[in-house]
Structure 1
Amino acid sequence: MIQGLLLALVAGSLVSMQNVFNSKVNEHTGSWATTALVLGMGFAASLTFGLIFEGGRLFSLENMKPWYWISGVIGVGVVICLTLGIRLLGPTYAISIVLISQLGSALWWDSMGWLGLNKVPFTFRQLLGVLVIVGGILVFKLGGGRVHQSASEETNETPPCKIKNEARGA
């Protein structure tokens, strides 16, 4: 169990870090170029590491249901939505909403037992947990406090990356 907790903590940190990198790439390209770059590099890295650690077993897919292949398309949706969401909301707020959505969706899928998952009974405690997280996000977002402006906003200058994107027609 400890190993699972540690892996989940590392995964959460990596996802947040990846989203920051994705948003920085998106400042210099478009959302679709960012998505293609991120998923293309992910494919190359997974293929390389898969061949190193699993060898020929990497391509042993005989018992996989055909509809599982849709996962890659879902990944495109994840990256494009996160990239655009971070651009519109900022990283912390966008990731907070993503976490609520993930938790709510996981709770729904587990409770329904769909897509081959073991059915887990839905309880009031689970609902309360999701609502506490939603309340935390609302406090975070609506709690007030001074919003800090970037140096370019304070001096009414246009950031260099925005000038490049506007020149390209983005």
Structure 2
Amino acid sequence: MKGSLYAFLAGGFITLQGVANARISRDIGTWQTAAMTQFTGFIAALFILILVRDGHWKMFSQIRPLYLCGGALGAVIIFSNVTAIHQIGVTLSISFLLIAQLGLTFLVDSNGWFGVSKQKMDRSQFIGIAVMIAGVAILGF
């Protein structure tokens, strides 16, 4: 239940961040917005880390270097989201974002990529993704 709540919050905050970033980018530019968002996110995360005093830094050396690049993906995410919002609006942008997330997570789960345990996908997952795609197609018309 707690995980569902966090996922719901993340979805809401992704939307709010995208809308705010789209507005900011009109004034300062998209890459500038991405840099500013990444920087303020770093400051916020660092502040929270200092407050909670999480002591798992010992494990840092065991992280595969490829995974350390995950934060850099945020710049591309922000740029892409802001550009999409400017071009097709918030609703379609977030709809496509969700479909892309679902599609890729489907591949990650079914193939066991990135060290996650393989999940067997059945017909209901395929139907769910197809219904979402159909919903976005309807939204687009």
Q: Which moved more, 1:70-79 or 1:33-42?
A: 70-79
Shift of 1:121: 1.3
**1:9 maps onto 2:8 in alignment:** yes
Aligned length: 140
For structure 1, list consecutive stretches of 5 or more residues without a partner in the other structure: 143-170
Aligned to 1:59: 57
Paired with 2:79 and 2:57, the residues of 1 have a C-alpha distance of: 27
Name whichever structure is richer in helix by fraction. Answer: 2
**1:137 maps onto 2:136 in alignment:** yes
Q: What is the letter of the counterpart of residue 11 of structure 1?
A: A
Q: What is the letter of the counterpart of residue 76 of structure 2?
A: G
Paired with 1:12 and 1:38, the residues of 2 have a C-alpha distance of: 17
SS of 2:6 mapped into structure 1: helix
Shift of 1:58: 5.6
Shift of 1:76: 1.3
Aligned to 1:41: 40
Aligned to 2:116: 117
TM-score (norm 2): 0.94
Paired with 1:20 and 1:68, the residues of 2 have a C-alpha distance of: 28
CA RMSD in angstroms, aligned pairs only: 1.2
Give matches, 1:1-170, under 5 Å. 2-54=1-53, 57=55, 59-60=57-58, 61-142=60-141
Retained in 2: the 8 A contact 1:26–1:34? yes
Retained in 2: the 8 A contact 1:50–1:58? no
Shift of 1:63: 2.3
Shift of 1:138: 1.0
Q: What is the letter of the counterpart of residue 129 of structure 2?
A: V
Paired with 1:59 and 1:29, the residues of 2 have a C-alpha distance of: 36
Q: Which moved more, 1:58-67 or 1:10-19?
A: 58-67
For structure 2, list consecutive stretches of 5 or more residues without a partner in the other structure: none
Identity of aligned residues (%): 29
TM-score (norm 1): 0.78
Retained in 2: the 8 A contact 1:20–1:91? yes
Paired with 2:4 and 2:95, the residues of 1 have a C-alpha distance of: 20
Q: What is the letter of the counterpart of residue 76 of structure 1?
A: A
